[in-house]
Structure 1
């Protein structure tokens, strides 16, 4: 669209403010610039402002999706079935199995679905209901019985019982999306279109209520939309504004009345007809694949929960073994990791739970790799200092033997175990060797898990657990009594 500077006083004021700021910042230096330099500064400031206003907004690739074939959809269903079967094998009586299997059966039937589902969505008061009414009453629906229109709740409403995420989840089940707007795209609308694009969902951007703009504004706005989003952009006027009609009679009298123009939906119906004829069945397969991927993720979440429940006691067992070892044989802080924090047998046990079959030698390689990453990321030093800080709150326990080393070893072992669990949850196939680790992914996982378990409240509770396990009960009572006397 053409940018019109309709507020010259405001623009001049902004330019003057910018210039005064420059003058104040440069102080004595600006005096040496002279009159020419001052004018140049004003010109540059004005030019920067105009460039900012005219800078094109972020564009989006064509909204056209890439339809998949039947074989691809069937493959996605098979992958979902494999995860469901694995869940049944590891938790035979899991409460979600019946629901998951019902959804799987439904997906197989979806492959032969003839009806094309069209979601009509957008913000509030963009004309969703009116559009469906016009399409149904125009006779077009009778020519396209395969197309079923379904309106969604309005998007972008802060005060609503249905959040945008729930609405977009419904939209994801449709084959085609009609996304209605009343003017230029907002950033939120643009982000929503990006989500449809990322989900490989066929989308038509509908510029509705175009009749409310003057002819030149309408053309300019439509051109801007088509430039930002090439392809699949149509203009409509579902409920045109009544226009005044004036008729001059032969006797010189004039008659005036308001006339309701017919809805303008030609571009939209042509686009829908083309989509239905050229891509109809493939769009159904694409939607089926999208649902299969979502079903697989749902089943994988349940499976991961089951495995995590089994992995947690193992991690706790090895963290306290590591703590006892380091407490009995205190070593310098930076050597804790090599002696106790990472245990190859823990790697093997966790791998068995997550169907990642590892030999002891491969597990040692994995353990060494994680130890090296922890050192490089500085997690050993950071965790030791954090544990020391907590223990210093009680001077008596702080000086008791190798508590710092023991608790630090337990903490690092726990971080390693949780990181392995998070890493294994992302895997699709078993690791063939320790060298098959994706180091970038493992590094990111380590950092994320470490940050999640670094809160002071968690550390205090963890240190207290460590003290209770590492110090004899009688010594804890004596130390606590001495601490009370001192305080």
Structure 2
């Protein structure tokens, strides 16, 4: 068989991939530079406990950036015991680097080998072999699979015949990682052609039996199911010698994995760097969310004090100000200052422009509550201004009216500021990755540019839902 090579490149696709890759690298560099700098907290230096709590997340950011800089695509092989995962990895590499054998459980922990296939020069491949999913019990198995799947850019799920219930459940669990997946039907040399085709048709029907697992069928189109014989069984060969003697020897046929190699190479050529970028971005997004959550939790008391302080100042300023229109303007400025102060307390990235957008989002998503506060503030402010004018003419009666209006308006303004502060905490925790170069923003832009008839295109809807 001929060696598989890349299919002709699509210049537009390559340009998109390079753009995705470069933006992702810039995004991670910015994130690492920001979160690793203790001065981001400005007048609120981080405590030792907070620094210790976010250390792992900073390491995730750094490792994600290192992975992008090295250009390493990770492909993980999963499956039950004795399905030939190690043999598939060996066959792809072209060397028997991983131990295989008839005994169950030859692979006891994840192992990785490097692969430089075909004409690839920009992307290196790391193939990860994992233990049988039915060997590791309970939580340990689930945790191992989750960790390896989260690091992988592409998943190979290896079966060796009709899929079992355990395999189906494991496949559905891996599917939740929302990574591109190829189903590898190994050991086809053990089946007559008719049986082999019948099993292949059965594999094509995965996920069609119930609505709950329909997403599995969406990801397993016929193009994502590949048949291989990674380590074919030895064949007995008749040998005739010059002297007429006849002997029989066992010969190992070459692996039949060219179809799988070609499929992998086509995916990497068409969307490999985009896959690499997206995986790094989702890891960075998760790390940033963890940093924000831990920071908000550890600085909850300080944040409450800050919100109450702004609430009192805003209420007092509104009560004492006799000019109605300045109440609304000054109140909005106070709310913006509160949002910026909270972001500085938490050490989360927030520009003045982003604070303004966040304030608008909070106001308009409050179900009319804060819009009502603005309207009431305007009306009461006008009434307060009229009362102030009247107090100069009517004396104590006008002054009493002014005081009553001012107290009412101050209470409404203070409540509005408190509501903004509480909502800002939620938005800061969930939206710290939505800046111009934030992971969520770059992920959304990449997903909007993926080409139809690709694995990423079929994953796009689910990945976009994760951003909401």
TM-score under structure 2 length normalisation: 0.47
